[in-house]
Amino acid sequence: MTALGGAERTTVKCATCGAAVDPLRADRVAIYGERFRYFCSAGCHENYDPRPSATPLPVSRERAKELSAIARSVVHDPPPLAEHPQLRELSLIGRDADDVTAPAPLASLVADSTLDAAPREVVEPEPTLPHAQAVGSLLLTLAAVGGALAIALVLAGQSQVAIAARLVLCAVAAGALAAESWMGDHDDTELGPLPLLVAPVGGVLVALFGLVQGSHLTSSAVTTSAASVTALSLLLLRRVRRPIDAERLAILRALDCTCQRVSGDELVETRAIDLRPGEEIVLEAGSVAPVDATVSGGEAVVLPWQGATIREERHDGDVIVAGAQVVEGRLRAVVSWAGPDRAWIRLSCDPRRRADTYSASSRAGRLSAERLSPLLTGAAALAAFAGNLDWVEVLMLCVGVHAALTSPLLASLPALHVARAILDGLRRGVAFRSAEAFDRAGKVSTLAFCARGTLLLGEPEVADIQGFGEHRPTDVLALVAGAESGSQRATATAVLRAARARNVRPDGVRSPNPQPGLGTTAVASNGQTLVVGSRALMLREHVSVAAVEARLTELEAMGRSVQLVALGGRLIGLLGLQDGLRPGARATVQHLLDIGVEPVLLSGDARETCEALGHALDIDHIRPELPPAERGDAIRRLMDGGAVVAVLGRTPADDIALGAADVSIALSTAGSSAAEWNVQLASDDVRDAAYGLRLAHVARREARLALLLTLAPALLASLLATLGLAAPALAPLGAALGGALALLRLRARN
């Protein structure tokens, strides 16, 4: 600190040697990466390394703990600033040098520190204590045993003592269920305590009143009350859900790791919950990415998502998702999504967006239990009154119908199918954007492929070069290479690669004018008009292609894309480019056909080329000669026909088609900060796209089947009880039987 005019001014460190420098009197000041850097001498300025990939000096673990302890002590018992000289160092970590020219208030120093003392939002819920889980299981077991004994003791006869003993067992069972419902830590997909307890508690009250009044229906009322205790269903449900909860917890624990955050010229070890979008992190070999991020420097070989077995390379501009593990190399990345917004957390663990809570398939079960049961119970009561039944019979019927329609299995089984599908997708690197996106993916009837880069490798090779008249093939290649020299398209890369391999120097083409989806017009070095592109571009530029029509058809029938070359209004040659099929392209199409989804091929190539590709992949529906700008209209025309259309493509090349679809599926976009696509893949494998659609379709079908298996017996038994053809106790037993069948089906699938 130095005094100037009665005010204190803070010194900063030299960016190269670390010596104390007065910001107002520094020998050199420069801006690197939108930040001020101060230097004590011209030599330090010259020796400074501004590269983003330069390794910052890490803060030791002991020093980080010391600074964190200082921050916590200040938050709980803020002392005068002078009593904490290390607090000033803590406040400078991660702050711009021009922000420290004047002392900041104590609160702002702590808030701006790299090791934040203030608590931040934690995604991971507090796990239920083991003893609480044990107590809950014990209460459910007690309730199940009590209900079963109350039913079994019907064999003891109809004496008052036997009925009273059974009623006591029912009361114990209902009380244990009530205690567990109010004290337990329940999943969001389960019914609340009120709809779950109305039937068993109401049944006990009805039986008790009947016993006091000496009604001859008391024994039946006790049986109905005992059948209404759903403890056994809850026990089975939670046992089946246990692996799902364990997998969720494993995801949360794996992503609750530490990494090195870039703070000025230092690396500070930081927990995942303390990272925010826009901050920069460094990932060394062996470390796990705790957040979704975009690589800003370095190269590495990674396991691209949690549990992945394949290895992929990541470079500048690539995306990594939380849970990716660096195997070799070193990466510097900018955080894109953190906290509950991470791709692997969003639909699996975030209580506000969990797919098994908010998807339509999951909500159908809960809504049936919560809203359908009062309506049908009321209808049953009206029918009973119309039949002049005894009041005990009316109440017994209401208890039985309500218990049948508020079965825990009815409310939660569809959600279990959705949760399993979401977790299965994450294990394969498939992340859905929202619960609504998952629902729409389950309804897709048509999947349109943007051929280049999905079914095709997107890395064409020049397979044919032909010149017409006095023009040699090398002359044609030189003109095309000159016209494509400034383009970033895959075909341009192939042409330039072919020119280098043949030692052909590109022609000095001037004024290139790219025509999206068609080709390029330009002026050749001799001053003549040059046109390179498709047949449609030649026709638009009034260049006749009739003389080579047979050769064009032959090349296109081989699945090759043809680039025609015209000079001075006359056709002088052509190039044939061959692109290979991506691994798994045929399997992808077969997966779609298996689930009843029609594949559609969108391509800018000629019809003959698309037909050859479609024949090789068993795709009947093709849309050829479609430039990328027109594919959105083609998708909307498919949707106008009543189809639910998904598009598989790459961003940003296929953004127009992706944006027009009902369901957009983008390769290698999971964790990207800019993408809002419905299905985001962490891999570049097109088979994962078909797998994601298959998961959504199967989950939707199985959830509806589970709902039907549970609801149909409940409705049938309730109808029979209302008509007097069956005892009211059979209604909840029928629902339990149907739910058990659906539960066994789910376990078999798992």
DSSP string, 428-455: TTEEES-HHHHHHHTT--EEEEESBTTT
Whether 328 shows a pLDDT value over 90: the answer reads yes
315-352 in b/e form (b: 16+ CB < 10 A) is eeebbbbbbbbbeebbbbbbbbbbbbbbbbbbbbbbee
Q: What is the mean pLDDT of residues 293-306?
A: 93
Mean pLDDT in the chain? 83
Q: Report the percent of the chain where pLDDT is more than 90.
A: 38
Top-ranked range on mean pLDDT: pick from 176-185, 437-446, 537-546, 577-586: 437-446
pLDDT of residue 59: 39
pLDDT of residue 128: 46
302 and 326 Cβ atoms separated by less than 8 Å: yes
pLDDT of residue 191: 85
Q: Where are the alpha helices (DSSP H) in 103-192?
A: 106-112, 130-152, 160-183
Q: In the chain, where are the structural domains located?
A: 130-241+354-418+701-749, 279-337, 430-456+582-682, 461-578
Q: What is the mean pLDDT of residues 87-102?
A: 35
140 and 176 Cβ atoms separated by less than 8 Å: yes
**Which pLDDT tens digit goes with each residue over 613-652?**
999 899 999 999 888 888 999 999 999 989 999 999 998 8
Whether 121 shows a pLDDT value over 50: the answer reads no
What CA–CA distance (Å, rounded) separates 746 from 240? 8
pLDDT of residue 56: 42
Helix (H/G/I), strand (E/B), else coil: 210: helix
User: Which whole-number Å values give the CA distances from 328 to 257, 298, 315, 429, in the listed order?
Assistant: 19, 11, 12, 20
Q: Given pLDDT bands bounded at 50, 70 and 90, which one contains residue 96?
A: very low
More confident residue, 458 or 669: 669
**Which pLDDT tens digit goes with each residue over 212-251?**
877 788 888 888 888 888 888 888 888 888 899 999 999 9
Same CATH topology for 430-456+582-682 and 461-578?
Answer: no
pLDDT of residue 734: 87
Token pair for residue 694?
Answer: 């298959």
Whether 79 shows a pLDDT value over 70: the answer reads no
Whole-model pTM: value is 0.77
Q: Lowest-pLDDT range, 122-126, 252-256, 396-400?
A: 122-126
Q: Report the percent of the chain where pLDDT is more than 70.
A: 86
What CA–CA distance (Å, rounded) separates 292 from 418? 24
Q: What is the mean pLDDT of residues 690-710?
A: 93
112 and 21 Cβ atoms separated by less than 8 Å: no
Q: Given pLDDT bands bounded at 50, 70 and 90, which one contains residue 131?
A: low
Q: Given pLDDT bands bounded at 50, 70 and 90, which one contains residue 38?
A: confident
Whether 714 shows a pLDDT value over 80: the answer reads yes
CATH 1.10.10.60 is right for the domain spanning 279-337: no
pLDDT of residue 74: 37
pLDDT of residue 126: 44
**Which pLDDT tens digit goes with each residue over 473-503?**
999 999 999 998 888 788 888 999 999 999 9
Q: Which of these CATH numbers, 3.40.50.1000, 3.30.70.20, 3.20.20.60, 3.40.1390.30, describes 430-456+582-682?
A: 3.40.50.1000
More confident residue, 541 or 10: 541
706 and 413 Cβ atoms separated by less than 8 Å: yes
**Which pLDDT tens digit goes with each residue over 143-167?**
888 888 888 888 877 788 888 888 8
Helix (H/G/I), strand (E/B), else coil: 86: helix
**Which pLDDT tens digit goes with each residue over 390-434?**
788 888 889 899 999 888 898 899 999 999 999 999 999 999 999
Please write down the long-range contacts of 191-195, taking CB distance under 8 Å and 24 or more positions apart: 191/366, 191/369, 191/370, 191/406, 191/408, 191/411, 191/412, 195/369, 195/370, 195/373, 195/406
Please name the helix (run of DSSP H) or strand (run of DSSP E) that holds residue 212, with its range, or none. Answer: helix 193-213
The structural architecture, per CATH, of the domain 461-578 is: 3-Layer(aba) Sandwich (3.40)
Whether 523 shows a pLDDT value over 60: the answer reads yes
pLDDT of residue 117: 33
Q: What is the mean pLDDT of residues 662-673?
A: 91
pLDDT of residue 51: 54
Q: Lowest-pLDDT range, 6-10, 415-419, 653-657?
A: 6-10
Q: What's the DSSP call for residue 671?
A: T
Q: What is the mean pLDDT of residues 178-190?
A: 80
**Which pLDDT tens digit goes with each residue over 570-616?**
999 999 998 888 889 999 999 999 999 999 999 988 888 898 899 98
Q: Lowest-pLDDT range, 175-179, 423-427, 507-511, 744-748?
A: 744-748
Q: Decide the pairing of beta strands 645-649 and 446-450.
A: parallel
pLDDT of residue 643: 93
Q: Given pLDDT bands bounded at 50, 70 and 90, which one contains residue 23?
A: confident
User: Which whole-number Å values give the CA distances from 345 to 88, 128, 238, 599, in the listed order?
Assistant: 36, 19, 22, 31
pLDDT of residue 80: 38
Closest CA to 465 of 548, 388, 574, 545: 574
More confident residue, 4 or 720: 720
pLDDT of residue 532: 94
What CA–CA distance (Å, rounded) separates 426 from 723? 49
pLDDT of residue 330: 92
pLDDT of residue 94: 35
**Which pLDDT tens digit goes with each residue over 341-353?**
999 999 999 989 9
